[in-house]
Amino acid sequence: MGEPPMATGAEAAVRRHRLRIRTVVVSFTAAVRSAHRDLEVGAAERDALIELWRAWAISMLDDYALNAKPLMDAAGLNDAERKALEDEMQRGYQMVRDA
């Protein structure tokens, strides 16, 4: 087996972009689980905190969505690769909304 080819700067940027999306989603869902398990506050306070975190996560995903098109252009992604990245963004949004 050979070594994988070196990624261009643009390809590495796309990988970092995907990692950021996943990090936001995982951080948010972990915070929600922790809030339900560990917070010793009333339901209203807990729900308000979760909604604050949800707003943060969506704002982060919105920022990443704004940066996605120039990133995809710079990386020279084909239509299928663009669709895959866009789908990943949408899954991230959906996971945050559903948590």
pLDDT in tens, the chain (99 residues): 555 565 677 788 888 889 999 999 999 999 999 988 888 889 899 999 999 999 999 999 999 888 888 888 888 888 988 898 899 999 999 999 998
Looking at residue 19, its pLDDT comes to: 92
Looking at residue 52, its pLDDT comes to: 94
Domain boundaries, the chain: 9-98
Looking at residue 54, its pLDDT comes to: 95
Model confidence, pTM: 0.79
CA-closest candidate to residue 36, choices 50, 52, 54: 50
Looking at residue 4, its pLDDT comes to: 55
Angle at 18 between CA 73 and CA 3, to 5 degrees: 90
Looking at residue 7, its pLDDT comes to: 62
Looking at residue 92, its pLDDT comes to: 93
> What gap in Å lies between CA 50 and CA 95, rounded to an integer?
14
Residue 13 · residue 75 · CB < 8 Å = yes
Looking at residue 94, its pLDDT comes to: 94
